[in-house]
A and B are shown apart, each in its own frame.
Chain A
Amino acid sequence: DIQMTQSPASLSASLGETVTIECRASEDIYNGLAWYQQKPGKSPQLLIYNANSLHTGVPSRFSGSGSGTQYSLKINSLQSEDVASYFCQQYYDYPPYTFGAGTKLELK
Chain B
Amino acid sequence: GQQVMQIPQYQHVQEGEDFTTYCNSSTTLSNIQWYKQRPGGHPVFLIQLVKSGEVKKQKRLTFQFGEAKKNSSLHITATQTTDVGTYFCAGPGDSSYKLIFGSGTRLLVRP
Determine if chain A interacts with chain B.
Answer: no
Which residues of A pack against B, CB within 8 Å? none
